[in-house]
Amino acid sequence: MNAFRIATVLFVAAATSLAADAPWQTIDEGFRFTIPPGWKKVEVRGIDSHVGEYRGATALLRFDEIFGLGYSVENSNAFIEQLKNKEREPSTLKEGEEIWRIDGRIALFFIGKADPKIYGKPPFQNVAKLSLSYPGEAGGLGLTVFFATNDDAPTVRKILRSVVWSKKEPNPESSVSP
């Protein structure tokens, strides 16, 4: 019986180790980001912007990329200037806010509790959000990740830090590659 328990423990440990070492998936939505193995695309339809969702066991990522739609070049440039000011004066950052540079672009990162007044009934109690505008364009990108526990925060940060642009225009037919 002892040999069986030891074999079972070794098998479970090996399976867990393999899952932890599995390569992350690269998602191409016109911009690219990586997500952990096992996350799946959720079919959603945008009305007037490029949207998408990807779900893991303890997290849900949503993105919304807009071009135009009442968001002007002036709005975009003003948001970028606001972020540059916050970067110069970190004391102006609110709790949970950070200024990031993502693939050469300035972005606002926020992490905290998912406020139902803002997010309705969120799928998980914690939220991280990355917001950025496209310089000189009437467009921007927002990525929101709802996640279960603070143990998920390093993974969420890794996902959001992985964003890069593969081309200027969004790709309506996204692809997932290992």
Q: Is 79 helix (H, G, I), strand (E, B) or coil?
A: helix
pLDDT of residue 67: 82
95 Cβ contact partners less than 8 Å away, ≥ 6 residues apart: 112
Instruction: For residue 119, give both structure tokens.
Output: 């997010």
**Burial per residue of 116-143, b for 16 or more beta-carbon CB atoms within 10 angstroms, e otherwise:** eeeeeebbeebbbbbbbbbeeebbbbbb
**Backbone phi, psi, residue 62, to 5°:** -125, 145
Which of 128, 157, 130 lies closest to 143 in space, CA to CA? Answer: 130
In which region does residue 64 sit, left (phi positive, over 0), alpha (psi from -120 to 50) or beta (all else)? beta
> Regarding the domain delimited by 23-177, which CATH topology (the fold level of the hierarchy) does it fall under?
Protein Transport Mog1p; Chain A (3.40.1000)
Asked whether 107 and 97 are in contact (CB, 8 A), the reply is no
pTM: 0.80
- Please list the alpha-helical segments (H only) found in 29-152: 73-88, 116-119
- Reported for 111-115, long-range contacts at CB under 8 A and 24+ positions apart, including other chains, are 111/153, 111/156, 111/157, 114/146
pLDDT at 113 over 90: yes
CA distance 17 to 109: 31
pLDDT band, residue 98 (cuts 50/70/90) = very high
pLDDT band, residue 3 (cuts 50/70/90) = very low
pLDDT at 69 over 80: no
